[in-house]
Amino acid sequence: MAAGRAENTTHTTPTGYTITMIRHRVLIAFMLASVASGHGAAGAEERDPTADCLENAATGSVDPYACDLALEIARSRADTRATAAAHTNRGLILERGGRLNLALQDQDAAVKLLPDNPTLLLNRAGLLLRMERTVEALNDYDRAAMLSPDDPEILFSRTFAYRALGDLVSAQADSQRARNLLLKRLSP
């Protein structure tokens, strides 16, 4: 269960090629399961840090405080999925605020907890690409594509890493495959 938002990013490669990405940043909503199951703060006057963390990541906030609290709650419950979600959402917030190294620490922690989750790999890859660590980003995109080979978002996102590396043939192939998968989904 994921929500997302589009975000424009301009990236200039070492060869001077400028790429404008309209990147669909994926937000994890695993934590909502804990709220729905009655584990979250339910009082009318109390705010639920788990839901606030997700909302802050989705709405453009640069304040990670709710995610700090959500992370403490998830850890105290030994809830791996909620812990990974809090890390990735806090990472998105930190990235938005320009705190890229801290954001990467959170994205790394999320992937370490759930290494076979393509959404977490996609989030980390986008951050790595923004940090101009293109080869590492491509490795995450490749792993995500291996885990979810028919996901057009992963394939389309990977095109930016290929372009940054100057591999326009692979970028075009992923772009075409992503388009075909989307058209297949939309056809009756």
- Cα separation, 155 vs 174, in Å, equals 5
Q: Is 187 left (phi over 0), alpha (psi -120 to 50) or beta?
A: beta
Query: What is the value of pTM for the model shown?
Result: 0.76
- Cα separation, 156 vs 122, in Å, equals 11
- Cα separation, 50 vs 85, in Å, equals 9
* Structure tokens that stand for 18 in this block: 């400028």
Amino acid found at 130: R
* Least confident window among 5-9, 72-76, 124-128: 5-9
What is the pLDDT at residue 89? 95
- Cα separation, 188 vs 185, in Å, equals 8
Query: Average model confidence (pLDDT) for the chain?
Result: 82
- SS3 annotation, 20-32: EEEEEEEEECCCH
What is the pLDDT at residue 46? 65
Amino acid found at 112: K
Q: Please check the confidence at residue 134 and state whether its pLDDT lies above 90.
A: yes
Q: Please check the confidence at residue 74 and state whether its pLDDT lies above 50.
A: yes
Which domains does the chain possess? Answer: 2-133 (1.25.40)
What is the pLDDT at residue 90? 96
Bigger pLDDT: 49 vs 161 = 161
State whether the Cα torsion 112-109-174-13 is positive or negative.
Answer: negative
* Least confident window among 19-28, 129-138, 146-155: 19-28
With a CB cutoff of 8 Å and minimum separation 6, the contacts of 41 are 47, 48, 49
Q: How many CA atoms lie within 13 A of 24 on its CB side?
A: 13
* Structure tokens that stand for 4 in this block: 């997302």
Strand partners, 141: none
pLDDT digits (tens, 9 = 90+) for 9-66: 454 444 444 444 434 444 444 333 333 334 444 443 567 888 999 999 988 888 999 9
What is the pLDDT at residue 47? 76
Helix (H, G, I), strand (E, B) or coil at 19: strand
- Cα separation, 100 vs 105, in Å, equals 9
What is the pLDDT at residue 118? 97
